[in-house]
Amino acid sequence: MRFDFRKSVASTLCSVLMLSSSLSPAVYADGLSNLPSLGDAGGAELSVQDERRLGALIMKDYRTFGAVNTDPEVTGYISRLGNKIIQAASESPSNFEFFLVTDKSVNAFAMPGGYIGVHTGLIAASQTESELASVLAHEVGHVTQRHIARRFGQQRQSSLVATAAMIAALLVAGSNPQAATGLMAAGAGYSIDQQLSFSRDAEREADRVGFLTLQQAGFDTQGMVDFFGRLQSASRLYENNAPSYLRTHPLTTERIADIRNRAGLESKPARNLKQESLGFELIRVKALVFAERSNQQLADRLRTFESANEQDGIKDPAALMYGRSLVLNAMGKKQDALVAGEKAIELYKAGQPVIKKSEVPLLLQSQRMRMAMDLSLPLAMAPLDQRPVRDRSALNAKETVLLGQLTELRNEFRNEMSVRLMYAEGLQRLGLFAESDVYLKDLSQAYRSVPEVFDLLAQSALALRRPADHHMALAQSYNIRGAYLPAIEQAEIAKRFASDNYYLLAEIDAKQREYKRKADAEREFTKFGN
**Would you please indicate which residues are annotated as catalytic (active-site) residues?**
139, 207
Which amino acid is it at 298?
Answer: L
Amino acid at 386: Q
Q: How far apart are CA 114 and CA 294, in angstroms?
A: 33
Closest CA to 305 of 126, 292, 360, 370: 292
Pairing of strands 115-119, 108-111: antiparallel
| Number of neighbouring beta carbons within 10 Å of residue 490 | 25
Q: Which amino acid is at 267?
A: S
Maximum Cα–Cα distance across the chain: 78
Could you tell me which residues are beta bridge partners of residue 473? Answer: none
SS3 content of the chain, % helix, strand, coil (to 5): 70, 5, 30
CA distance 170 to 165: 9
**DSSP one-letter string for 396-417:** -HHHHHHHHHHHHHHHHTTT-H
- CA atoms of 323 and 331, how far apart (whole Å): 12
Residues 6+ apart with CB under 8 A from 283: 73, 74, 77, 123, 363
